[in-house]
Amino acid sequence: MPQKQYDEFQQAAIEAPTPALIVAGPGSGKTSTLIGRAEYLIDTLGIPPENILALTFSRKAAEEMQERLGRVLDVHTVLPTVSTFHAFCAELLRTYGSLVGLRQDFAFVDDAEGYFLLLRQATELPLRHYQNLNTPTYYFPALLSGISRAKDELVTPAEYKRLALCMLERTSNEEEIQKAERALEIADIYALYQAALERQGDTDFGGLIMLAVQLLQEHPEVRRELHQKYLHILVDEFQDINRASGVLLRELAGDARRVWVVGDANQAIYGFRGASPANIANFRDDYPDAVVLPLSRNYRSRPDIVKFADVFRREHLEYLEPDSVQGTVQTARTTVEDAYVTLAVAPDEASELNGLISDMRRKRAGGYHFRDIVVLCRTRAQARKITQGLVDADLPVIERGGLLEQEHIKNLLSIIMLLAEPSGMGILRAARQSDHLFTQSDIEALLQAAREQRVSPMTLILRDEAPLTMSIDGGRSLRRLSMILKALHLAQNVWSLLADYLFIETSLVRELLASDEDTQAQAVLDDYAGLLQLARYYDQQQQALRFQKEQEDFARGEDGVPIGLPTIQEQTRGFLDYLSVLLTLRHDGGKRQEEGSDEETPDVIRVMTVHASKGLEFPVVYLPGIVKQRFPMQRRGNPVEPPTGMLPAESEGDAAHETDEACLFYVGATRARDHLVLSYAERYGKKNYKRSAYVDALVAGLPEERITSVAWQDNQAGGRAGLVPARSPSPTRPFSSAWFEPVSSQPSERFVEAMKPRTLTISALETYQRCPRQYMYSTIYGFHGEDAAYRLFWKATQDTLEALTHTLEASKGVGDGDAQSPTQEETRALYTHYWTELGGHTVPFAALYERHGHEVTELIRRRLLASGDISWQLRQSFTVDIAGRTIEVSVDRVETPAQDGEPVKFVRTRFGKRKEKPTATARELLYARASRQHHPGRNIELLFHNMSTGESFQIKLTEKKEQGLYNELEQAILGLENNEFPPKPDVFVCPSCPFFLICPA
Ligand code: SF4
């Protein structure tokens, strides 16, 4: 093999004395340089390959490094050890794990299993600040990520608690007290979680490195052995280092400190397991005499792209680089005459999408393959929308998003939903599978008949009772679906259920295999395999849990009767819960996100998030949506903030967020080899946007003639891509389009009229305002998720409150109030009575609800006793006329004082701790209108009463605010009357929406 030529930067880096930090720019050949370094060590310095350890962070990078080392060092029989940090630690702990408390065959607990581990400890978890009554597991993903973050910083539960207590000692106001209390709560949860892991003798991802560090620090003999074995350590992608892996590296290197690392601080994206530019800077603290050298020649991108990225880096990121060592980046590629950096502006989102499509077609006509093209998006929601637009335009596309967000996977899961959930929401997607196709009017006939007969839609399906209003084809499909579901009822587990459905009961896989020319068919097959893998994993986990439970029972001296298999309904419900955990944790990617671009890749356009593009490169890169608030995105609060002192100051807060966003943009722009197209629209939805400041670097960095500035007007693609309603799969359309289309589910006017409630209520309008599509699913279709436990809690609290109110009112009547007042014990007993009567003691998190029920009712008892001669009317109904319509509003509580001069209070009550102060909403508007209509001339106050904390806030409604709320309500009423149910997707809200798996948004 010919000797590879290195440039002067690379050569200097290869021969650098250690410790050495090589600061690499994008496309500067850092992995090649690392390979060159290994060659230099072996061939020039005579270091045996087995004495070299090369570490990196992703499995893909490790595989690539291994393969390249194998090629250049083919004369050597032994190769250096190449591994990821985590795999290296796992290997080490397989040998020495017992020294740090691991069992011999310890298991690796991933985040999803960590979630179930927390769930199993539900009764012990001290949830107060992190208590969500609607969804008690709501904060679990955030708690797990807080624990993982602590491990990235080598912070144990005890240390976490110490930091939290220090915070509490130094508090000077309520906000700081709350913060410290939250940190203390996490410390206690962390301790419980860690104790459970230790009892099992297992470890989680963060624990791998933490335990390896502990092993090396506590066992000098192991450390010595490793020092003798690994004389030189090389690290690639050093920007992804976190504190824990930095300390591990120091322990591995020992006093010899023969460490050579290469990375690009500008590509350090926070959130990648604690990666932060601050950690690169730590290298200088750990090794003050380290040599710092740049790799400053870009071999990837054409000169204008390099220049733009460099100007951006200097403006937004240069302070991240140690000693600003990189200087001006040089370019290795020659330029071409035509401009290849494009800045496009469109009036709105649809025009931007159409512009993208036209430009892609031009690039294709100009000789590029589809696989050369990538669209990089800031969020998954944006990626989904763009994918949809490309599908509608019949362009071949694969969205490199999560497996569970794919339309065909959601369609497949519909069969599981039908079995798991009787309200029948799975039918909307099951209707699209070619083996049991239903038209929209067939679906409506089924749902309407179920409502009229007061049975669940699933009952009708299983009984094969097609309503008379269903079409003949629909009736046939119903029979087919009924037979399939009955057969699937016999499945032993989720994997066999899915496999039966895919391979035996339907022709889904057969159809895909028949379209072997179609690259997207292969993608769908891969995704089906991915889902089967998840099902297999879930089944195995459940089996292991049952076995563990049997062992525990046996150890406790119980008779050890084998635990039977749960019913298939229970298993499918559990599987859907598991998938929703993966979605919330954003761990549903499977293999999807690791694939890159090469000759073997199918000839399809890729759409992915910028995060997922790290380490990849493409000839043509589109970066759409570059406007303020979207890129950079606004910072969202972190529910689990680390305790003060856990992280370096520069890794927290607004400045860290801004750096992270700038790093992301830099990563995105530097993926481009030949063409970079930045675009933005002046309006997204109904909101106007301004161009992002990131674009300014483009304008400042390149002469005008080197930028193609274009205005993308509407209809460039010859259609309204992305806005057309979805079509049904049709044999005349290309396979690719039909399979990737979303479900429309727009109900007919007749159906809406038949199903919609006869009265207009504020609760319905609130749901509509939150998300019109959610209103459609819940109120028009009548689908519902599981929120049974919270409803029981709410009902038990209401019943107790009513009983207390009656007792006190009665006691006033006999003029011996105090003597008749219920005591704290009586109130507790009353709550427990209602709670048990409703069956609350049997639900998950029963202890949490009952404990909180006691707290809430005691607060209410005290408030009632203190209310004197004020009379309380609970859930009083009013009607309010707004915009010519009558709306029903049930006021949570009206407090009427005996004296006329005192204000009547209209009180809105809610449960749960909230950080933000309450503000006026549509409900307050209606309360205000109701109070004026029904208590004319009386002095009125609007109050918000948090029953969980006992706090009350007066709500002020200015004339301007009232008008604004009125306008919004009027809009919502109009939308409802026009049967408009557009989705209102929100990247943080949708994954926990009960309709996520049926919603195409
Ligand atoms: S998934 Fe999102 S867009 Fe769809 S109904 Fe739920 S909240 Fe609305």
DSSP string, 577-598: HHHHHHHHHT---TTGGG---S
Q: Does 745 sit in the ligand 1 pocket, CB within 6 Å?
A: no
Cα separation, 248 vs 242, in Å, equals 10
pLDDT at 2: 57
Q: Assess whether pLDDT exceeds 70 at residue 377.
A: yes
- Which residues, 6+ apart, have CB-to-CB distance to 119 below 8 Å? 137, 140, 844
Dihedral of alpha carbons 465, 470, 474, 476, sign: positive
Q: Each residue of 935-967: pLDDT tens digit?
A: 888 888 999 999 998 999 999 889 999 999 999
- pTM equals 0.81
Residue in this structure with the two tokens 């071949």, named with its chain if needed? 396
Among 268, 300, 296, 272, which residue's Cα sits nearest to residue 282? 268
Choice from 407, 583, 771, 777 to test ligand 1 binding pocket (greatest atom count within 8 A of CB): 771
3-class secondary structure, 957: coil
Residue in this structure with the two tokens 């496009």, named with its chain if needed? 344
3-class secondary structure, 839: coil
746: its two tokens: 């727009």
Q: Does 996 sit in the ligand 1 pocket, CB within 6 Å?
A: yes
pLDDT at 815: 54
* Residue 604: pLDDT band with limits 50, 70, 90: confident
Cα separation, 744 vs 428, in Å, equals 9
Q: Does 774 sit in the ligand 1 pocket, CB within 6 Å?
A: yes
Q: Does 410 sit in the ligand 1 pocket, CB within 6 Å?
A: no
Number of the ligand 1 atom closest to the C-alpha atom of 774? 5
What is the 995 CA–ligand 1 centroid distance (Å)? 6
- Which residues, 6+ apart, have CB-to-CB distance to 664 below 8 Å? 269, 378, 610, 611, 631
What is the 749 CA–ligand 1 centroid distance (Å)? 21
Tell me which residue has its CA closest to atom 5 in ligand 1: 774
Tell me which residue has its CA closest to atom 4 in ligand 1: 999
Q: Which of 78-92, 187-201, 378-392 has the lowest mean pLDDT?
A: 378-392
* Residue 721: pLDDT band with limits 50, 70, 90: very low
Q: Each residue of 204-246: pLDDT tens digit?
A: 988 999 999 999 999 999 999 999 999 999 999 898 888 899 9
**Percent of the chain at pLDDT exceeding 70:** 89
Residue 811's CB is within 10 A of a number of other CB atoms, namely 16
The pLDDT of 418-439, averaged and rounded, is: 90
Q: Does 779 sit in the ligand 1 pocket, CB within 6 Å?
A: no
| Relative orientation angle of helices 846-866 and 788-813, to the nearest 10 degrees | 20
Q: Which of 5-14, 272-281, 955-964 has the lowest mean pLDDT?
A: 272-281
302, amino acid identity: R
Q: Does 483 sit in the ligand 1 pocket, CB within 6 Å?
A: no
pLDDT at 817: 47
Residue 175's CB is within 10 A of a number of other CB atoms, namely 10
568: its two tokens: 């298939």
Q: Does 993 sit in the ligand 1 pocket, CB within 6 Å?
A: yes
Q: Which of the residue ranges 270-284, 291-305, 468-482, 909-923 has the most confident prediction, judged by mean pLDDT?
A: 468-482
Q: Each residue of 527-553: pLDDT tens digit?
A: 899 999 999 988 988 887 787 777 777
Q: Assess whether pLDDT exceeds 60 at residue 715.
A: no
Choice from 385, 428, 999 to test ligand 1 binding pocket (greatest atom count within 8 A of CB): 999
pLDDT at 810: 77
Q: Does 783 sit in the ligand 1 pocket, CB within 6 Å?
A: no
* Residue 813: pLDDT band with limits 50, 70, 90: low
What is the 377 CA–ligand 1 centroid distance (Å)? 20
3-class secondary structure, 702: coil
Angle at the Cα of 663 from the Cα atoms of 658 and 666, rounded to 5 degrees:
125
Cα separation, 148 vs 129, in Å, equals 19
Q: Does 984 sit in the ligand 1 pocket, CB within 6 Å?
A: yes
Number of the ligand 1 atom closest to the C-alpha atom of 985? 3
pLDDT at 962: 92
Give the C-alpha distances (Å, rounded to integers) separating 618 from 65, 217, 446, 676: 20, 44, 49, 10
Three-state secondary structure of 261-281: EEECHHHCCCCCCCCCHHHHH
Cα separation, 679 vs 354, in Å, equals 12
286: its two tokens: 């750990």
Q: Assess whether pLDDT exceeds 70 at residue 717.
A: no
Residue pair 297/7 in contact by the 8 Å Cβ criterion: yes
What is the 1000 CA–ligand 1 centroid distance (Å)? 8
pLDDT at 744: 61
Residue in this structure with the two tokens 């006033």, named with its chain if needed? 812
Among 671, 659, 684, 661, which residue's Cα sits nearest to residue 623? 671
54: its two tokens: 């090369």
The pLDDT of 295-303, averaged and rounded, is: 89
Choice from 405, 583, 984 to test ligand 1 binding pocket (greatest atom count within 8 A of CB): 984
* Residue 735: pLDDT band with limits 50, 70, 90: very low
Among 48, 67, 191, 63, which residue's Cα sits nearest to residue 126? 191
Beta 397-399 vs 760-761: how paired, if at all?
unpaired
121: its two tokens: 């400890």
Choice from 385, 425, 993 to test ligand 1 binding pocket (greatest atom count within 8 A of CB): 993
Distance of CA 71 to the CA centre of its chain: 39
Among 591, 594, 592, 606, which residue's Cα sits nearest to residue 371? 606
pLDDT at 985: 82
Q: Assess whether pLDDT exceeds 50 at residue 731.
A: no
Residue pair 238/261 in contact by the 8 Å Cβ criterion: yes
Q: Which of 212-216, 619-623, 895-899 has the lowest mean pLDDT?
A: 895-899
What is the 970 CA–ligand 1 centroid distance (Å)? 22
* Residue 714: pLDDT band with limits 50, 70, 90: low
* Residue 437: pLDDT band with limits 50, 70, 90: very high
Q: Each residue of 445-490: pLDDT tens digit?
A: 999 999 999 999 999 999 999 999 999 999 999 999 999 999 999 9
Find residue 134's DSSP bridge partners.
none
Three-state secondary structure of 268-335: CCCCCCCCCHHHHHHHHHHCCCCEEEEECEECCCCHHHHHHHHHHHHHHCHHHCHHHCCCCCEECCCC
Three-state secondary structure of 870-905: CEEEEEEEEEEEECCEEEEEEEEEEEECCCCCCCEE
DSSP 88: H
